[in-house]
Amino acid sequence: MLANKVPCLYCQTKNEADQENCQHCGMPLAKDHPDGEKSRQRFFVKAFWGIVIFCIVMVIYLPRHLF
């Protein structure tokens, strides 16, 4: 079974996600790593809804030309 690996914020060594300290330098590992899957998903959701709202506003705001 493949376990998730997270890099240490200090030395960039890949560590098992369930460890509390880095196996290389001994520094504490971050609970919510900035490179984590949830962080990327939250950014995507925010960007997606921002683009959707922008498109809706532009459809309503931009003048329509009658040809």
Tens of pLDDT, residues 17-67: 888 999 999 999 887 666 666 777 889 999 999 999 999 999 888 887 766
Structurally, the chain folds into a number of domains equal to 1
Residue 24 CB neighbour total at 10 angstroms: 13
In a domain, 22, yes or no: yes
Beta-bridged to residue 21, according to DSSP, are 28
Q: What's residue 67's pLDDT?
A: 61
Q: Which domain does 29 fall in, by range?
A: 5-61
Q: Would residue 66 count as lying in a domain?
A: no
User: What's this model's pTM, rounded to 2 decimal places?
Assistant: 0.47
* 48, part of any domain: yes
- The answer to whether position 67 is within a domain reads no
Q: Within 10 Å of residue 6's Cβ, how many Cβ atoms?
A: 21
4 against 50, higher pLDDT: 50
pLDDT value at 13 more than 50:
yes
